[in-house]
């Protein structure tokens, strides 16, 4: 796995107040940039992101939103980093998904009575995770500690980005970081697609909290388990139960909480 590299940061002069004194000091600040995506000449979306791993962000976004079905559909991907523009030429573009992006759609999850999906594309691309894989408790503790304490170099420098990784038997094999929580998962998905990794036998570990949007991203990617430093939301828990995803949260040095589908975690 590529180790956490300190990228996309700048020094900024700030004034610190401490022990009754004001002091000028330089602080490391995370960079942020807008990235506008044109798909076959049509402006599709503008996302705010860290200026690193943009290629994987775009790949993961287009596939997870159902605008293209697979990585091989992309024929050309050009990034103009100076102007914040991305041009993608692709075969078999799903016009319905492109036109329906961010279109509100209230519907139920997996045929249940609970309202689950708020956008049309989520309803079309989210899937139930039917995986009999089992994960070791020790591996969960190990991967969370590795991500938070060792790998996320930019976070430890600025405290201004989220970080996430794909985990196989306790080892972090694919890593990403970004100012945006959602961007983390698109970047990881893009890297998994490029490396042709299977996802139904691996976990994702994440530095933030699990909201419903994050849980839906995990479902689209096909991961059966997501681990978070913080707590999940109620809507995320409801979706996880219906979609077959194990949520693990509040991970500390020697403890964590299993909120859904605990049968996947063994000691």
Active site residues: 110
User: For 140, how many CA atoms within 13 A lie in the half-sphere containing its CB?
Assistant: 26
Give 253's DSSP letter.
S
Plot region of 172 (φ>0 → left; ψ -120 to 50 → alpha; else → beta):
beta
Neighbours of 200 (CB within 10 A): 13
Identify which of 187, 171, 165 has the alpha carbon closest to the alpha carbon of residue 135: 171
Plot region of 16 (φ>0 → left; ψ -120 to 50 → alpha; else → beta):
beta
């Amino acid at each position: 796995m590529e180790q956490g590299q300190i990228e996309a940061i700048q020094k900024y002069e700030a004034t610190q107040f401490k022990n009754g004194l004001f002091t000028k000091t330089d602080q490391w600040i995370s960079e942020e940039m807008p990235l506008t995506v044109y798909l076959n000449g049509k402006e599709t979306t503008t996302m705010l992101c860290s200026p690193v791993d943009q290629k994987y962000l775009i790949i993961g976004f287009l596939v997870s939103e159902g605008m293209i079905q697979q990585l091989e559909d992309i024929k050309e991907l050009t990034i103009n980093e100076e102007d914040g523009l991305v041009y993608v030429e692709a075969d078999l573009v799903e016009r319905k998904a492109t036109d329906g992006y961010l279109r509100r759609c209230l519907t139920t999850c997996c045929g249940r009575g609970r309202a689950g999906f708020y956008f049309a594309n989520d309803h079309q691309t989210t899937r139930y995770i039917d995986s009999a894989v089992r994960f070791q408790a020790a591996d969960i503790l190990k991967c969370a500690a590795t991500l938070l304490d060792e790998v996320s170099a930019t976070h430890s420098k600025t405290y201004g980005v989220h970080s996430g990784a794909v985990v196989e038997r306790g080892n972090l094999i694919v890593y990403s970081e970004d100012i945006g929580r959602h961007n983390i998962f698109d970047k990881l998905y893009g890297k998994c697609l490029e490396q042709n990794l299977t996802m139904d036998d691996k976990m994702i570990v994440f530095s933030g909290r699990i909201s419903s949007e994050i849980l839906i991203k995990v479902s689209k990617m096909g991961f059966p388990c997501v681990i978070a430093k913080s707590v999940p939301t109620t809507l995320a828990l409801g979706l996880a139960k219906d979609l077959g995803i194990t949520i693990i949260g509040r991970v500390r040095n020697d403890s964590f909480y299993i909120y859904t589908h605990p049968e996947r975690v063994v000691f």
